[in-house]
Structures are given as structure tokens and as C-alpha cells.
């Protein structure tokens, strides 16, 4: 699952429906605070209240609760009981990262049952955008240390397998934050220098050059074909052996390849003010339209390819927020508008029964990470 490619929608807006202030345990109906290890967890009654702008849940696609974990930023799943998180290290002085002063963020495995944390990378480096391989055996992340951005492919135990620095001089001006796993062995990293870089668990690094300029710094690979969105908003297929490109579909804002690599979920531009979420085969043939809105983004496939999660903004206020669609029945389960403030991605658990998101909120003039887990029935 690829990360959010938001277009200016990330903010530090205070959210009300999901976020509780810390302190004494809440006495509000449907909310309970419990302790797991050193972590305080807020269990929220996920059922919307009538008259609050929420639509009715599906009769067959439904959810039971939302858990909130304060102080950690979710980055993905290691198993159904363990998540990947980053957390600020208060013991290290702030450093300049991405043109601003930031606390060093360290990488951990977080056990949802016990609340225990296990460090997964060096403590002195700023860790960003980690992604776990489909088989859960390797991890790829961006590291910033001593003024250098580096892509690291490592085992879950923290042993580095491959290390690739950003090197614009030699055509490796890479977008590590948009990397995605091609399979269990290989990671694809887009390059703003008109290509992609392929990194595998055998420490091999391969550059594929001159495939065409990308609009969104995002690419996917199926067999010997690389797919990306061009600067004229076309979904393009680049054949590596022949070095030839062909347009798959026009008016594409963004896309997500399905886990089985046989479908695209596409953000299709319908007009200047309308975007549709459509499913297509790899040739670009549309099979279904799931929803429309001013914007549809943050698309995430469930592992079994049966569900799609996405974020929608619409002139119809009741549609603003997080939606989960059943791909076959087209049923639409609306969760909450507050997830429009999610700031990293929507991540499905390996079982496909839980959805993970992170939202930063302001608390006592300080930005605080919050992780949310939505459990489906």
C-alpha cells in the first residue's frame, strides 16, 4: 500500500469527534480509557450519532470500535497484533529536516496487546516513511543523518541489506517517501530525474532511466512494465525491454495498483470540480465507479482486494471523510470526516479486518501524534 499523496490537505486542525484530551478517564458515553503497558488507549464508540451528518452503515459492511493511541505515529502493520510506528526522541536536540527544525523520529515495533515497544533502527537518525514488505520480513525507510538522505532496506531485526543515498549528481535524486514494494524482494523508488530505482534484498540497485516525467512522483511495476502518471495527467505504461511508452488512460490524477496486480483504483478527473474513484483493468478499461467528490484521495486496497478505503471531500458535507467500499457489492461504509486530517496513510491489517491511520493534533500548544485503529465487524 502506498502512502498518501495529499495535495495541501494535511493540517494541524483540532478534531473533535475522535480526539479526547488526556488527563482523567473520560466519562462520556461510549468512551473508555484503558492502560496497555505504558500506553493510554482511548476506546471510542464507533457508532455515529443521528443528526451529526453521518450516513447509515451498510447492513453487511460495518465496524465496531475505534481505538486511539496517543503519542505514536502509525506507519503500517507488522502483524495483526503489532504495528510499525515512529516516535519523537526527546533526548536528542532538534535538527533541521525537510527545511524545518524537527525532533529526531525513531522507528519501533509496537505490540498492541502489551503496549511494549521494540527499537528497529539507530536512535540518532531521523526515520521517515517506513514500509514493510508483503511477507513482513524486510523494511524500507528513508533516513536523514549528518545532512544526508539515504534509503535503507533492512531486515526487521535492523540489519541493513542495501543503502542508497540521494545523489542528484549521478542521477539518483530519489523520492524515498513514495517508495513501494514490487514484491517480497524488490522496492521501487521513483526518481525526479525521469526514471525509477529498483532495490532488492540481494543488495542490487538498478536505475531505469528516461521513462518520462512523472506528475506525482509515484510509480508501480507489474512484470516488465512500469506505470506512472505523466505531466499531462495520463496513466502511462513503460515497457522496460523495448523502452516504449503507451497511454493507458487519460484524465488520471493518481492511481493505486491492487494487491493481485490486475486492477487499478484511479482518481479520475471528471471536471475541474469533480473527481471520481473508478476501477479499471490494466488496459484502462473501466469496470465500476465507486464514488465521486471534489477530491478523492488516500486510496488503500485491503490485502484480499475486496475493499477500498479512501478519503473524500465533497460539496455535500455528509460525504466528507473516510469511506470504506466493498468492491464487489459497491457498498459504502462511511466512518468519519475527522480522518481528512490523517497525515501519513491508511493501512490495512494483514487480515483485512482493521484499518490504521495517524492524526496529529494540537495539545497545550504542542503537536501530538495519535494513532487510530478502526476494527470492522
pLDDT of amino acid 49: 32
The listed CATH number (3.40.47.10, 2.130.10.10, 3.30.470.20, 2.30.40.10) that belongs to domain 31-376: 2.130.10.10
Which helix (H) or strand (E) element contains residue 126? strand 126-132
Report the phi/psi class of residue 359: left, alpha or beta, with left for phi > 0 and alpha for psi in -120 to 50: beta
Strand order in the sheet with 186-191: 180-181, 186-191, 195-200, 205-209
Non-local (6+) Cβ contacts of 91 within 8 A are none
pLDDT of amino acid 1: 55
For residue 291 the three cell numbers come to 464514488
Where in the chain are the domains?
Answer: 31-376
User: How would DSSP label each residue in 48-66?
Assistant: PPTTSSPPPPPSSS-EEEE
Asked if residue 85 lies in contact with residue 73, where contact means CB atoms within 8 angstroms, the answer is: yes
pLDDT of amino acid 361: 87
Neighbours of 44 (CB within 10 A): 21
Q: How far is CA 99 from the centre of its chain?
A: 22
pTM: 0.84
Nearest partner of 333 among 62, 104, 138, judged by Cα: 62
pLDDT of amino acid 54: 28
Burial category of 310 from C-beta neighbours within 10 Å (exposed 0-12, middle 13-18, buried 19 and up): buried
**Residue 343 — φ and ψ, nearest 5°?**
-120, 15
pLDDT of amino acid 347: 96
Distance CA 345, CA 324 (A): 14
Please identify every stretch of the chain with a pLDDT value under 70, giving residue numbers as ranges.
1-59, 98, 168-172
Nearest partner of 310 among 288, 342, 354, 349, judged by Cα: 342
Distance CA 231, CA 192 (A): 12
Q: What is the pLDDT of residues 16-66, one digit of tens each?
A: 334 333 332 333 334 455 444 445 444 444 433 322 222 334 457 898 899
Nearest partner of 327 among 303, 345, 295, judged by Cα: 303
Compute the mean pLDDT over every residue in the chain, rounded to the nearest whole number. Answer: 83
Amino acid at each position: 500500500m502506498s502512502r498518501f499523496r495529499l495535495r495541501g490537505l494535511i493540517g494541524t486542525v483540532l478534531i473533535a469527534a475522535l480526539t479526547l484530551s488526556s488527563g482523567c478517564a473520560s466519562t462520556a458515553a461510549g468512551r473508555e480509557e484503558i492502560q496497555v503497558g505504558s500506553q493510554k488507549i482511548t476506546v471510542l464508540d464507533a457508532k455515529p450519532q443521528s443528526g451529526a451528518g453521518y450516513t447509515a452503515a451498510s447492513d453487511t459492511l460495518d465496524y465496531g470500535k475505534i481505538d486511539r493511541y496517543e503519542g505514536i505515529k502509525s506507519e503500517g502493520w507488522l502483524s495483526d497484533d503489532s504495528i510499525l510506528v515512529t516516535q519523537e526522541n526527546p533526548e536528542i536536540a532538534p535538527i533541521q529536516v525537510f527545511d524545518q527544525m524537527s525532533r529526531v523520529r525513531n522507528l519501533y515495533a509496537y505490540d498492541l496487546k502489551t503496549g511494549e515497544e521494540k527499537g528497529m533502527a539507530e536512535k540518532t537518525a531521523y526515520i521517515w516513511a517506513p514500509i514493510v514488505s508483503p511477507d513482513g520480513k524486510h523494511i524500507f525507510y528513508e533516513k536523514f543523518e549528518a545532512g544526508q538522505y539515504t534509503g535503507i532496506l533492512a531486515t526487521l531485526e535492523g540489519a541493513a541489506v542495501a543503502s542508497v543515498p540521494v545523489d542528484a549528481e549521478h542521477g539518483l535524486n530519489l523520492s524515498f517517501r513514495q517508495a513501494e514494494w514490487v514484491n517480497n524482494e524488490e522496492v521501487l523508488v521513483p526518481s525526479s530525474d525521469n526514471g525509477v530505482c529498483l532495490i532488492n534484498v540481494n543488495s542490487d540497485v538498478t536505475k531505469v532511466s528516461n521513462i518520462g516525467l512523472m506528475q506525482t512522483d509515484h510509480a508501480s511495476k507489474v512484470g516488465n512494465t512500469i506505470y506512472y502518471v505523466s505531466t499531462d495527467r495520463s496513466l502511462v505504461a513503460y515497457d522496460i525491454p523495448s523502452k516504449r511508452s503507451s497511454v493507458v488512460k487519460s484524465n488520471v490524477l493518481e492511481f493505486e495498483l491492487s494487491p493481485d496486480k490486475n486492477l487499478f483504483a484511479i482518481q479520475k478527473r471528471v471536471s475541474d470540480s469533480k473527481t471520481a474513484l473508478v476501477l479499471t483493468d490494466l488496459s484502462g478499461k473501466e469496470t465500476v465507479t465507486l464514488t465521486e467528490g471534489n477530491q478523492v484521495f488516500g486510496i488503500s486496497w485491503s490485502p484480499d482486494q475486496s475493499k477500498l478505503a479512501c478519503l473524500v471531500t465533497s460539496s455535500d458535507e455528509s460525504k466528507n471523510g473516510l469511506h470504506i467500499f466493498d468492491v464487489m457489492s459497491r457498498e459504502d461504509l462511511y466512518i468519519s470526516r475527522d480522518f481528512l486530517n490523517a497525515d501519513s496513510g491508511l493501512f490495512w491489517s494483514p487480515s483485512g479486518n482493521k484499518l490504521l491511520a495517524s492524526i496529529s493534533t494540537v495539545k497545550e500548544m504542542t503537536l501530538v501524534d495519535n494513532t487510530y485503529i478502526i476494527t470492522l465487524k
